């Protein structure tokens, strides 16, 4: 190293300064020969690497002029200031280490030509120590870039979640999702639950780690005290959300319906939020639970969309199916769910009631024989009859 005992390497420093350009050029040529991925870089990025190599040689000269304990870190960090911050996103840390190794190899090979007589050993040791400083500097640069990128991503995800909850246009959603690198893998669904509290980054990290294990796309954000997760590529969103429960706080977790793409995810978000607000009315609900399973509670909580679904899809489906299904359902409920009593009131055989109840389940997806489904059917009948005078049920589609 450069000490009075070693002769300060003055002659060697002058040789290195004169050879700076040639060293940088030789290093980039070696990269081109030995690193296939380097050859595929765009011209502007290759030029940035050349600038970094030249800055590295200049920094080596400055570093040799000083004591290793004074200012070496700052000088090493300056090497990477020669290139735009975008380079840290284009070239990985592993690739940067490979570039540094090539540059140091070239410098070591040139030691016999660069060092003045008697200074070869001192220069070789100095180059090795300097390479260590540069490696640490690269790690610091990438760590800062990762922290900056993480903070920006967290803000962007929060904005995307906010846009979803507000029902912003699909263009706004698409642009923000593209900035996050979202691969719009269908289907897409939104899950809402309580946030466990603490740092938002730590909350989202837990969910992201679980999502990577099950292979689904995910965007998340903490909105107030709620954790909102957008899932992509999960064929069964409820099942996928069950594997992410470790990221949620206590309380219900509600999953909105699956939609074809992020453009339509606002519909899923609305249903999930409405279900989350209504979920306390069903204390024994599974966790997670589909928003569609909470239709009766959502109606009682004032959710217009849930009311429309029960009116059009359930009550309307029974009206369109005909076949005395409505009368059978009324009689079955009036008889307290006893088949024989319902059959006597309608003057039919109990098997006829069984057949009609099966048809009701086929038409509506809700079985009158299941207490939970029976509750939804009762609410649907009530809504259908209350709304019928002003909004008659027809065969119109949703």
Domain CATH code at residue 222: 3.30.70.2730
Q: Residue 198: CA atoms inside 13 Å, Cβ hemisphere, count? A: 10
Supply 211's token pair: 């999502």
Asked if residue 397 is part of any domain, the answer here is no
Quote helix, strand, coil % in the chain, to nearest 5.
70, 5, 25
User: In angstroms, how far is the first alpha carbon of the chain from the final one?
Assistant: 79
Give phi and psi for 96, each to the nearest 5: -60, -40
Give the pLDDT of residue 82.
Answer: 53
Give the pLDDT of residue 171.
Answer: 63
- Tell me the Ramachandran region of residue 215: left when phi exceeds 0, alpha when psi lies from -120 to 50, beta otherwise: left
Asked if residue 161 is part of any domain, the answer here is no
User: Do residues 331 and 211 share a domain?
Assistant: no
User: Is 70 exceeded by the pLDDT of residue 265?
Assistant: yes
User: Do residues 194 and 326 share a domain?
Assistant: no
Contact 207, 227 (CB under 8 A): yes
Last residue of a domain, one of 85, 117, 148: 148
User: Do residues 251 and 172 share a domain?
Assistant: yes
Give the strand pairing for 289-290 and 226-232: unpaired
- H/E element, 180: none
Give the pLDDT of residue 3.
Answer: 41
User: DSSP alpha helices (H): ranges in 91-217?
Assistant: 93-109, 111-114, 120-166, 170-179, 200-214
Q: Give the model confidence (pLDDT) of 204-227 as tens digits.
A: 888 888 998 998 988 888 888 899
Asked if residue 193 is part of any domain, the answer here is yes
Buried b (16+ CB within 10 A) or exposed e, 17-31: eebbeebbebbbebb
Give the pLDDT of residue 176.
Answer: 62
User: Do residues 313 and 260 share a domain?
Assistant: no
Asked if residue 376 is part of any domain, the answer here is yes
Asked if residue 210 is part of any domain, the answer here is yes
Asked if residue 280 is part of any domain, the answer here is yes
How far is C-alpha 132 from the geometric centre of its chain's CA atoms?
A: 35
The residue ranges of DSSP E strands in the chain, in sequence order, are 188-194, 217-223, 226-232, 253-255, 289-290
Contact 25, 106 (CB under 8 A): no
User: Do residues 88 and 171 share a domain?
Assistant: no
Query: Which residues fall within 8 angstroms of residue 270, CB to CB, at 6 or more apart?
Result: 167, 256, 305
Last residue of a domain, one of 266, 292, 318: 292
User: Do residues 238 and 307 share a domain?
Assistant: no
3-state DSSP assignment of residue 219: strand
Q: What is the pLDDT of the chain when averaged over all its residues?
A: 81
Q: Give the model confidence (pLDDT) of 130-155 as tens digits.
A: 777 777 777 776 666 555 555 555 66
Give the pLDDT of residue 172.
Answer: 62
Q: Give the model confidence (pLDDT) of 166-180 as tens digits.
A: 666 666 666 666 655
3-state DSSP assignment of residue 328: helix
User: Do residues 28 and 142 share a domain?
Assistant: yes
User: Do residues 13 and 126 share a domain?
Assistant: yes
What angle do the packed helices 43-65 and 20-34 form, to 10 degrees?
130
User: Do residues 323 and 268 share a domain?
Assistant: no
Give the pLDDT of residue 328.
Answer: 95
User: Do residues 130 and 172 share a domain?
Assistant: no
Of the candidate ranges 101-105, 137-141, 220-224, 269-273, the one whose mean pLDDT is the lowest: 137-141
Give the pLDDT of residue 6.
Answer: 42
pLDDT band, residue 67 (cuts 50/70/90): very low
Q: What is the Rg, in whole angstroms, of the alpha carbon atoms belonging to the chain? A: 34
Give the pLDDT of residue 105.
Answer: 82
Number of domains in the chain: 3
CATH code of 325's domain: 1.10.10.2840
User: Do residues 12 and 143 share a domain?
Assistant: yes
Greatest mean pLDDT among 52-56, 152-156, 263-267, 276-280? 276-280
Last residue of a domain, one of 148, 179, 200: 148
Asked if residue 339 is part of any domain, the answer here is yes
What CA–CA distance (Å, rounded) separates 305 from 309? 6
3-state DSSP assignment of residue 271: helix
* Domain, as residue range, for 177: 167-292
Contact 251, 182 (CB under 8 A): no
User: Do residues 379 and 244 share a domain?
Assistant: no
Give phi and psi for 372, each to the nearest 5: -65, -45
Supply 218's token pair: 């995910």
Q: What is the largest CA-CA distance in the chain?
A: 117
Supply 366's token pair: 């809700």
Asked if residue 162 is part of any domain, the answer here is no
């Amino acid at each position: 190293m450069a000490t009075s005992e070693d002769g300060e390497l003055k002659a060697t420093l002058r040789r290195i300064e004169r050879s700076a350009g040639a060293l940088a050029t030789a290093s980039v040529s070696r990269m081109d020969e030995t690193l296939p991925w380097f050859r595929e870089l765009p011209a502007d990025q290759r030029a940035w690497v050349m600038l970094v190599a030249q800055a590295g040689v200049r920094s080596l000269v400055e570093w040799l002029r000083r004591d290793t304990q004074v200012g070496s870190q700052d000088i090493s960090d300056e090497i990477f200031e020669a290139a735009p911050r975008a380079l840290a996103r284009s070239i990985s840390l592993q690739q940067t280490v490979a570039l540094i190794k090539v540059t140091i190899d070239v410098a070591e090979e040139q030691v016999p030509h660069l060092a003045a007589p008697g200074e070869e050993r001192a220069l070789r040791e100095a180059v090795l120590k300097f390479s260590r400083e540069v490696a640490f500097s690269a790690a610091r640069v990438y760590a800062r870039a990762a922290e900056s990128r993480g903070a920006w991503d967290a803000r962007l995800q929060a904005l995307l979640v906010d846009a979803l909850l507000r029902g912003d246009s699909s263009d706004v959603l698409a642009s923000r999702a593209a900035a996050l690198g979202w691969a719009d893998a269908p289907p897409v669904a939104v899950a809402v639950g309580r946030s466990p509290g603490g740092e938002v980054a730590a909350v989202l990290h837990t969910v992201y780690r679980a999502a990577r294990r099950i292979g689904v796309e995910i965007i998340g954000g903490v909105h107030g005290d709620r954790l909102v997760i957008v899932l992509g590529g999960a064929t069964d969103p409820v099942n996928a959300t069950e594997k992410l429960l470790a990221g949620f706080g206590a309380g219900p977790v509600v999953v909105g319906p699956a939609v074809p793409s992020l453009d339509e995810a606002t519909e899923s978000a609305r249903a999930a939020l409405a279900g989350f607000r209504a979920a306390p009315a069903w204390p024994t609900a599974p966790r997670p639970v589909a928003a569609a399973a909470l239709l009766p509670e959502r109606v009682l909580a004032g959710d217009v969309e849930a009311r429309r679904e029960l009116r059009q899809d359930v009550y309307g489906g029974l009206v369109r199916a005909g076949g005395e299904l409505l009368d059978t359902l009324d009689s079955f409920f009036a008889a307290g769910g006893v088949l024989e009593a319902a059959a006597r009131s309608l003057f039919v055989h109990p098997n006829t009631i069984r057949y009609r109840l099966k048809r009701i389940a086929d038409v509506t997806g809700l079985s009158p024989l299941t207490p939970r489904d029976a509750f939804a059917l009762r609410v649907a009948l009530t809504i259908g009859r209350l709304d019928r005078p002003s909004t008659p049920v027809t065969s119109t589609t949703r």
